[in-house]
Amino acid sequence: MVDQAGPERRAGARRHRAVVVCPPGAEDACRQELLDLGVKPKPAGPGTFELDATTRQVYAANLWLRTASRVLVRAATFRATDFAHLLAGAEEVPWEAWLADGVAPVFRVSTRDSKLYHTEAIAERLHQVVGLPSEDDDQPRQLFVVRVERNTVTISADASGDALHHRAWRTGIGPAPLRTTLAAAMLRACGWDGTVGLVDPFCGVGTIPIEAALLARNLPPGGDRTFAFQDWPSFEAGTWASVAGAAAAAARPAATTAAADGAEVPLVIAGSDRDPEMTALAGANAERAGVAADVTFETRVVAHLRARPGAGLVLTNPPFGKRLGDARLDGLYRRFGTVANQRLAGWDLAVLATDRKLVGLVDRRLRPAARFGQGGLAVTLWHRPAAPADASDAPGGPSGQADADERDQADATGQAGDADQADPAGTGSGAGSAAGQRDLVAGGGGEQEG
């Protein structure tokens, strides 16, 4: 993440008390990103940081943070033990800094340990002071987050608008999409920095490889979208142009890495999935994200995973499979471990999963690296560094007991073979495979609004 202040530095230098919210579990990654941006985040509860930030940094945080859900700016803090205090405090708020003519305020209120506890009544009083939305559904709105804690009211203006995990490129989503912010947090948690390859053998609509490609190209995740702060009367167009211009200048033209002889070679960033609908969506998403030339997507069952030399990271979220029988998922996870250890032997391995027992079938050396919520489920990211040459402890490791179909063993390139019973051709397009695919992904969890 690069954001160097240019000549507009003074214009963007006004200071704000800002709040950054990220998915619980992504705190370490988000904290690191904020430090990269030049601000010191102060933890303020699960998934929340407070910071002292300039206008420029507030804009840059929205544009650059890969793991954050929202950036807010403190509008006011005052004590209130009754509605008269609340009304008096609200009268003092400089609402005009965030509300342009015709923009309606929306209040999201929460309370704790306070005399004022009725969230709807609090929102109603605030609307009395600053106005109500019209009947017109198309009227532009500005969200204010109101927190009443131990009789102290904190009002913050949302600078982001749509939650930041809504990337403009991700219009194609499957039945079990991974949140973009979680994909970014997982890449960070695994220490992936774009200098080694990345493979996702259950890529769905391509969230992990596309987030990886954006990172490798140093492209901002919010490059193609707009933010709520752009509609504020206090918006500094020059500062924003400078932040966006710095981002454009910092982008790398292609995802490459240095080969042993020092030459720049294309970085491997690859996704595969058994479902051709998913890989088609992934390709279209990559196109929209501007990284189509940096990522490859293939329709391929995991048993036919392509062998790759060198070092890299296999990072994936296989079907969680709530609706599947254990036996079928057992086989899928075991087969995945076998082929990953055989064909990507020098690579790190990381798996997002809900079930510890299944994770053990992939590789017994996997250890918890981070815990998140995804689609209402508690999920754990499991990680193990690259296996040493003699990985006798790994199920399916070089000297381990490979339990994949023997035909698969002859398939060193991942091209031939016939190891996946539901899809003998390995194309994901065989008769009967569609129902199986939907079944396999059905338990993967949906995307939540954050």
Ligand X SMILES: C[S@@+](CC[C@H](N)C(=O)[O-])C[C@H]1O[C@@H](n2cnc3c(N)ncnc32)[C@H](O)[C@@H]1O
Q: Does 340 bind ligand X (CB under 6 A)?
A: no
Question: At 195, which helix (H) or strand (E)?
Answer: none
Phi, psi for residue 330 in degrees, rounded to 5: -50, -50
Size of the site for ligand X (CB under 6 A): 25
Q: Cβ closer to ligand X: 144 or 333?
A: 333
User: Out of 146, 199, 268, 440, which residue is the one contacting ligand X (CB under 6 A)?
Assistant: 440
> Are residues 396 and 345 in contact, defined by beta-carbon separation less than 8 angstroms?
no
Amino acid in the structure at residue 268: V
Which residues on adjacent β-strands are paired with residue 72? 19, 158
* Among 176, 267, 359, 394, interactor with ligand X by CB under 6 A: 176
Q: Does 324 bind ligand X (CB under 6 A)?
A: no
Residue 298 binds ligand X, judged by CB under 6 A? no
Our CB check for ligand X shows the closer of 153 and 352 to be: 352
Residue closer to ligand X (CB basis): 156 or 317: 317
Q: Which of 172, 177, 312, 337 binds ligand X (CB under 6 A)?
A: 177
Q: How many CB atoms lie within 10 A of CB 20?
A: 31
Which x/- pattern over 392-431 shows residues binding ligand X (rule: CB under 6 A)?
Answer: ----------------------------x-----------
Tell me the two tokens of residue 26: 């992504």
Q: Which is nearer to ligand X, 236 or 298 (CB)?
A: 298
22 lies in the binding site for ligand X (CB under 6 A): no
Nearer to ligand X, 153 or 315 (CB): 315
DSSP string, 362-381: H-TT-EEEEEEEETTEEEEE
Q: Indicate the residue among 54 and 279 with the shorter CB distance to ligand X.
A: 279
317 binds ligand X (CB under 6 A): yes
How many helices (H) and strands (E) the chain has is answered by: 12, 16
Measured distance CA(103)–CA(140) in Å, rounded:
5
Which of 76, 44, 78, 104 has its CA nearest to residue 228?
Answer: 104
Query: For ligand X, which residue of 66, 125, 165, 274 counts as binding (CB under 6 A)?
Result: 274
Q: What residues are paired with 157 via a beta bridge?
A: 73, 144
List 283, 319, 373, 397, residue binding ligand X (CB under 6 A): 319
DSSP E strand stretches across 300-389: 312-316, 347-353, 367-374, 377-384
- Nearer to ligand X (CB atom), residue 396 or residue 444: 444
By CB under 6 A, tell whether 170 contacts ligand X: no
301 sits near ligand X (criterion: CB under 6 A): yes
437 binds ligand X (CB under 6 A): yes
From residue 82, give the alpha-carbon distance in Å to each of 91, 109, 122, 154, 261: 15, 15, 10, 15, 71
Instruction: Report which DSSP code applies to 97.
Output: G
φ and ψ at 366, to 5 degrees?
Answer: -65, 135
Q: Which of residues 178-207 bind ligand X (CB under 6 A)?
A: 178, 202-205, 207
Q: Quick one: which segment of 143-151, 214-222, 240-248, 313-321 binds ligand X (CB under 6 A)?
A: 313-321
CA–CA dist 439, 328 (Å, integer): 11
278 makes contact with ligand X (CB under 6 A): yes
Give the residues lining the site for ligand X (CB under 6 A).
174, 176-178, 202-205, 207-208, 273-275, 278, 301-302, 317-319, 332, 420, 437, 440-441, 444
